[in-house]
Every structure is written in C-alpha cells, then in structure tokens.
Amino acid sequence: MTDEIYEHLVYGDAVFSSMPVEVPAVAPRCVVINGVAKTYAMTGWRVGWLIAPTEVAAAVGRFQSHSTSNVANVSQRAALAAVTGPMDPVAQMRVAFDRRRRTMHRMLNEIPGVEAVEPHGAFYAFPSVEGLLGREIGGRRVETSEDLAAALLEVADIAIVPGEAFGAPGYCRLTFALSDDELEEGLTRWREAVE
C-alpha cells in the first residue's frame, strides 16, 4: 500500500515517484491511496480514493458501503471540482509551504539543543530535541520529548507532537501548515523559553 497524499507537496530537488510506476511488476498487488486533504487543503471534507486491482477495489467498496454508507455527496462534488480544476492555487500554496519550510528549518536550528534536518516534502519538521532533555524549561524538569511538549504548552502556549507518538522518543513533530507570522511567533517563543 502506498500513500501518495503528499505527491504535489515536494520541494527543492526532491521528485515525487509512485511505486507502481517505478516498479510496474508490483502493480497487480499494489494499492495506491490518496485524497484531497493535503493538495487541495480540504482536510475535514473526508474524501479519499484508491487505485487498486479490481477485486480489491470492489471489496473496499462493499466494505465502505456497509460501514459508512457513502461519502457525503456535497463532499464528492467539492472533491471533483478540486481534482478537475486548475492547479495554480496548488502551486501558489506550495510556494508558501516552501517558504515556511525554510523558515521553520532555520528557526528550529537557532534554538539551542534542537537539531532539524530540512524536510523535502509534506508540511512537517521532525527535529531532534535530545539536546534539551535533562534540563529545566520555565521551572519544569524536562526528561523526555513528552515532558518537553507539556512544558512548551504550559510555558510558551505552543503545541508540538512528541516523538513518542511516532515511536521516536527524543524527537518531535511540528507542522508548517500555518501562517508565516504564527510560525515565526511560535518558534520565537520556543527559543525564548529555552534561553
């Protein structure tokens, strides 16, 4: 199963590639999933699709029809408008994400104790925060990335997702799907809380 939901959100020299296109031999047992949530900023419309061998697609259709009945018609119409409409708004959005990605990467690495690699796709950074563990932030002892998330919420009013949720303690996930101003404000607060 290959989740291609971020196919249009790649940056710099990164190139999107689809598994059954790269390796046609796997196509007969490959299920490609995708949706409108990311490319068209339609999170919440609850529309996705799959491309799969006929018998798999038919079984999925039967399962869905008995579990949820259907995708709301209004959402289907909106999704159709999105996938058949012009792609310029997507290109504009990608330019904004690309700018925010670079801002986030730079500002994360300016926080003492945080080390971030540059994201090449999607809209998340996943920095190491190991350099912040074993110290105090705003009078709170921080031993784990989970403690760090709680401390930053309390002290700086900012929300990060601790790496424990992804099986990667010592790291955390942040999104740059927010305005440039809010992004800079949040990361400034994090740096100030640490300093």
Ligand X SMILES: Cc1ncc(COP(=O)(O)O)c(C=O)c1O
Residue 64 as a binder of ligand X (CB under 6 A): the answer is: no
Residue 178 as a binder of ligand X (CB under 6 A): the answer is: no
DSSP string for 131-165: GGTTEEETTEEE-SHHHHHHHHHHHH----EEGGG
Residue 161 as a binder of ligand X (CB under 6 A): the answer is: no
Residue 43 as a binder of ligand X (CB under 6 A): the answer is: yes
Residue 192 as a binder of ligand X (CB under 6 A): the answer is: no
Minimum Å distance from CB 148 to ligand X?
A: 22
Stretch that binds ligand X, among 35-43, 56-64, 105-113, 131-139 (CB under 6 A): 35-43
Strand partners, 172: 162
Minimum Å distance from CB 86 to ligand X?
A: 21
Characterize 98-126 residue by residue with b for buried, 16 or more Cβ atoms within 10 angstroms of its Cβ, and e for exposed. Answer: bebbeebbebbeebebbebeebebbbebb
Distances (CA, A) of 195 to 18, 89, 91: 44, 39, 37
Residue 121 as a binder of ligand X (CB under 6 A): the answer is: no
Minimum Å distance from CB 23 to ligand X?
A: 20
Which residues here bind ligand X, judged by CB under 6 A?
3, 5, 35, 37, 43, 48
